[in-house]
């Protein structure tokens, strides 16, 4: 995003940060890991007999450009599902979107959307020239 010198702390403006727990019981732990009890290194995250696995959201600016990062932990994926990912990077000519849901068979897939002021044919020819497209 920002070619040139590395970002410095002065380039970051944190607007808001939140975190919240997903609660994991011993029964849930056994179902996922096979362990009967929480390992010693997780004891600091046990409250009322449940493991607190924290999700978070950070809203911030990098050199005046807004960004948001969020991570949500669910105990189990939806039926028939797996890990999911969703990411959007807004650009001046298009948006890059990464999705990893059921429609993508839970494989991370890059989409180029919202072409602004560029024809699809022009964009396609530039992509073929500038990047190697890999299909899994």
pLDDT, tens digit (0-9, with 9 covering 90-100), for 40-98: 999 999 999 999 999 999 999 999 988 889 888 777 776 777 777 788 888 777 888 99
pLDDT of residue 56: 94
Q: Please choose, from the candidates 48, 57, 49, 51, the residue with its C-alpha nearest in 3D space to the C-alpha of residue 20.
A: 57
Phi-psi region of 63 (alpha: psi -120 to 50; beta: other; left: phi over 0): left
> What's the mean pLDDT in 126-136?
71
- Tell me, yes or no, whether 13 and 71 share the same domain: yes
Please indicate, yes or no, whether residues 92 and 134 belong to a single structural domain of this protein.
yes
**Do both 57 and 90 map to the same domain?**
no
Task: Name the domain count of the chain.
Answer: 2
| Tokens at 118, concatenated | 């560029």
pTM for the full model? 0.62
Q: Tell me which residue range forms the domain holding 26.
A: 9-76
């Amino acid at each position: 995003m920002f070619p040139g010198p590395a970002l410095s702390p002065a380039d970051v403006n944190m607007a808001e940060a939140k975190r919240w727990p997903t609660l994991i019981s011993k029964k849930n732990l056994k179902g996922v890991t096979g362990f009967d009890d929480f390992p010693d290194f997780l004891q600091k995250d046990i409250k009322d007999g449940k493991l607190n696995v924290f999700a978070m959201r950070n809203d911030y600016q990098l050199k005046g450009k807004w960004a948001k990062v969020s991570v949500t932990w669910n105990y189990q994926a939806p039926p028939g599902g797996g890990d999911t990912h969703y990411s959007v990077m807004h650009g001046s000519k298009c948006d890059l979107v990464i999705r990893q849901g059921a429609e993508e068979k839970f494989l991370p897939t890059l989409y180029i959307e919202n072409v602004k002021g560029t024809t699809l044919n022009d964009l396609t020819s530039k992509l073929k020239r500038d990047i190697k497209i890999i299909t899994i």
